Chain A
Amino acid sequence: MSAVLQNLIDQPYKHGFVTDIESDVVPKGLNESVIRSISARKNEPEWLLEFRLTAYRHWLTMTEPTWPNVTYPPIDFQDISYYSAPKPKKKLASMDEVDPELLRTFEKLGVPMHEQAALAGVAVDVIFDSVSVTTTYKKKLADVGVIFCSFSEAVHEHPELIRKYLGSVVPAGDNFYAALNSAVFTDGSFCFIPKGVKCPMELSTYFRINTQESGQFERTLIVAEEGASVSYLEGCTAPQFDTNQLHAAVVELVALDRASIKYSTVQNWYAGDENGVGGIYNFVTKRGLCQGVDSKISWTQVETGSAITWKYPSCVLLGDNSVGEFYSVALTNHLQQADTGTKMVHIGKNTRSTIISKGISAGRSNNSYRGLVKIAASAHGARNFSQCDSMLIGDRCSASTFPYIQVQNNGAKVEHEATTSKIGEDQLFYFASRGIDPEEAVSMIINGFVKDVFTQLPMEFAVEAGRLLGLKLEGSVG
């Protein structure tokens, strides 16, 4: 069986290529003048520069976290270029004006822009190396009052909203990488759904890292006002490089009374080769605040890429009756390392949260679930259910679970379950007896294993996620 499986899991990275586009890059290194220069290039207001500098000064006092269950050589933060933007920078009115080289890139990824745009109800805010190149469906969204634009655009056009919500969920000094991001973030997406509006389409962004050795520091902010709802999709692929790249993004979600935000991610950054050379360091801070009553935030993630993944999409359930959800599939192969999970902080009364985490480790990889369920003394009637399942493929990989459960209210009910298993010979035998070959059997077993999570993904992503698992583990996922 191991030979078959080995064959299946050794699929090469199919998205590895470098697009040759001229880039405008800031010299390597990090200091106040680099931050001022980034801010000046983006023509930012004084208060935002101040936000960056405060974060930077705080960052200087912090030390790199060592508690995650991952190992990597020390990162030289002075050896990174903190800003790169593709040229030319002129504004584009239609798809035809987009750099043909760029369009070909997306075509290679299997998600051509034309098709994406044609897919019913999907607006794509394409982020190519930190700067927004084009935005579609903007007008349709504007008609209902939804603001969906690049972060730098939002800073100029909706400064009052950015000022109000930036750093309100993830403060500038929250953790080492969030502070770094707050200091040097280049661009990202901003999304605002006004009171009572149900966003008429799925919103999606494509992140890419293109220039070699340029870290990418995205900033996403989504605000759903009273009664609003939105589903946001984020997909990542990255080309193949030999040097490690740092990716430290921050995502902030704010849900007011009765608002609901669904945030889905398919992450397939370059994971390094089978010897662990290269690959992205994905150190991300994602947090949602259920500020209002009856609000809901749901995270769904499919993590298949990155040499190292270090992310804990979290929900702070402040409003009474608010709901937090976390659905995750994390797949690691070769020498990949993932330390991922979630934090559910229950503060309001009758708050509920669900955690479903599925980890698959293969090769010599290391896959950890680390989660926190905290029930504050004020959270009467809070309820949590967590399930963390791990699957091991091969005897040189590892799976760990570190669930922290802290309960300070006796009216709360918290349940946690975790299991570890492998694809058993008996399962394969059963499939074989039904005339199904091992490859298809493995594919069906894996699909069954992750089904609880995949059903949470929006249609478009469910297809892409299936394709990604296919790339990582098998020839084709049935």
Chain B
Amino acid sequence: MAETTSGARTFLDSLLAGAEAGSDALKTLRARALERANALSVPTTRHEEWRFTDLTPLSRMAFRQATAGAALDASAIAHWTVPEAATRLVFVDGHFSVALSSIVSVDGVRVERLADAFATGNAVLASHLGQIAGFEHDPFVAANTARLADGVLVHATRNAFAAQPIHCLFVSTQADVVQQARVLVVAEDGASVTILEDHVATHDGAYCVNAVVEIDVGANARVRHVKLQRDGKKAFHLATTAARVARDGTYSNLAVTLGARLSRNNVHVLQGGTGTHFELDGLALIDGRQLADTRTFVDHAQPHGTSRQLHKCVVGGGAHAVFNGRILVREDAQKTDSTQESRNLLLSEKAHVDTKPQLEIFADDVKCAHGAAVGQLEAEEVFYLMSRGLSESVSRSLLTYGFAADIVGRIGIPSIVRQLDAAVVERTGGQEIA
């Protein structure tokens, strides 16, 4: 990341403004990240990893750090609450809201604010925070780490089991601000937790979210991570999720991208032991002038790993979907079994897709396959539905809905599935089929 443009630099500076005090270890981490953030520059389309996503619009914005705004009324977030999740941590413009949050304790699963964990000197932080999501080469992760002050810590001790999802709700109420979001999940051996990461906004203005989620999955542990990106249509969303999975652990990531003018979702999954299982699913449902860029990196560094990935994009209007799925099978990662599918549906003439499923294999005894397809709805399928008496627009909506519902159905949290179903129906052609 060599080149710098002054506008882009200004944007990075706004990300870095005003770091806060904390423990010595935290200060050291922040200082290291700050050093990297200052050394790195905002990538341009000349960087292979950012070839299709131009960050110029972002560097033209003059963002400031979000300050704690006016208290938000519980009714304002009522329609985003998830009845299945008793534990809810709400961050308004990046600041924790005590009034809106509720933490219900479950045996062995400790959920707290990162700020509290810093204050009590939680040992988990020293061994995990900033160590799973590397910031050496990523200016946004570096900036997030340099500004690290608060966030969510989920710590599941050995064999602990949380039946209910833990809802992390990040609400934006102010325009022209940058808000950071940070989550650390540590699931010790045999533990099982579900995290619901949810980004929403109460306004239509432009703002920027810079989110970093770190997940450590212990041996035989299971972490399920559902990410809903429902930011405003003028928002910028930059996010990195990094997971490290120990022997026989399972990590599943399901990301739904509906909002933001420009979004970039990096998912990096590292196999830290043998016999792990990864599931990565994605749905981007975009239109207008939206750009949704998903970049996943599955690192099979150990033998006997399996991974399953299905990424779908439904692109309408003049929107642009980007998918880059990299699967690396390292030298000794024998018996790896990995599949990846990228499916893209173009709904309009101006919509376009850039997809690059990428396999790099250095071991011979592996099964790897990937596939990509781009197209529009099959005329025959539309005709079939019309022959059953549906209008053309309803037929198209129904088929598009079916295409997207496949991913939504995998979420497994009924109220979220209902909410997303409604959103998908709205996007694919209104109420006619509802």
Contacts and interface: CB of A to CB of B under 8 A. Distances in A.
B308 interface: no
B125 interface: no
A398 B354 CA distance: 26
Nearest to A368: B360
A403 B358 contact: yes
A67 B47 CA distance: 11
Interface of B: 48, 331-332, 334, 344, 346-376
Interface stretch (A215-223, A242-250, A412-420): A412-420
A418 B369 contact: yes
Contact of B357 (A390, A403, A420, A422): A403
Nearest to A362: B364
B369 A402 contact: no
Of A395, A402, A420, A421, chain B has the most CB atoms within 10 Å of the CB of A420
Nearest 7 A-B pairs (CB), nearest first? A410-B346, A392-B364, A413-B375, A408-B352, A416-B372, A400-B360, A420-B368
Contacts of B373: 413-416
Given A400-B360, A420-B361, A420-B367, A395 B334 contact: yes
Given A399-B359, A417-B371, A421-B367, 20 more contacts: A67-B48, A390-B361, A392-B361, A392-B366, A395-B363, A400-B358, A401-B359, A401-B360, A403-B357, A405-B355, A406-B354, A407-B344, A407-B346, A408-B352, A410-B349, A410-B376, A412-B375, A419-B369, A420-B366, A420-B368
B297 to A, nearest CB: 14
Interface residues of A, number: 35
Of A396, A403, A410, A417, chain B has the most CB atoms within 10 Å of the CB of A410
Contact of A398 (B344, B350, B360, B369): B360
A16 interface: no
Nearest to B365: A422
Contacts of B361: 390, 392, 398-400, 420
Interface string A97-130: 0000000000000000000000000000000000
Given A402-B358, A416-B372, A418-B369, A395 B331 contact: yes
B375 A420 contact: no
A77 interface: no
A478 to B, nearest CB: 23
B290 to A, nearest CB: 16
Of B354, B359, B371, chain A has the most CB atoms within 10 Å of the CB of B359
Nearest to B48: A67
Nearest to A392: B364
A410 B320 CA distance: 12
A400 B357 CA distance: 11
A407 B320 CA distance: 10
A417 B371 CA distance: 4
A276 interface: no
7 contacts: A396-B331, A398-B360, A398-B362, A400-B361, A401-B360, A407-B374, A420-B367
Contacts of B372: 403, 405, 414-416
Given A410-B347, A414-B372, A394 B364 contact: yes
Contacts of A393: 364
A400 B326 CA distance: 10
Interface in A128-172: none
B347 A401 contact: no
Contacts of A377: 349-350, 352
Nearest to B330: A398
B201 to A, nearest CB: 29
B310 to A, nearest CB: 15
A86 interface: no
Interface in A377-436: 377, 390, 392-422
A412 B374 contact: yes
A414 B370 contact: no
A400 B328 CA distance: 9
Nearest to B349: A410
A118 B279 CA distance: 61
A405 B358 contact: no
Contacts of B363: 392, 395
Nearest to B340: A418
A150 B349 CA distance: 47
B374 A414 contact: yes
Contacts of B350: 377
B360 A405 contact: no
Contacts of A415: 371-373
A421 B371 CA distance: 15
A122 B298 CA distance: 51
A440 B323 CA distance: 42
Interface in A302-346: none
Contacts of B346: 407, 409-410
A288 B365 CA distance: 38
B374 A413 contact: yes
B374 A417 contact: no
Nearest to A380: B349
B62 to A, nearest CB: 32
A417 B351 CA distance: 23
Contact of A405 (B354, B364, B369): B354
Nearest to A375: B374
Of A402, A405, A421, chain B has the most CB atoms within 10 Å of the CB of A405
Contacts of A401: 357-360, 370
A12 to B, nearest CB: 23
A419 B366 CA distance: 10
A411 B348 CA distance: 9
A404 B356 contact: yes
Nearest to A376: B352
B253 to A, nearest CB: 22
Contacts of A394: 364
Nearest to A394: B364
Nearest to A374: B354
Contacts of A412: 374-375
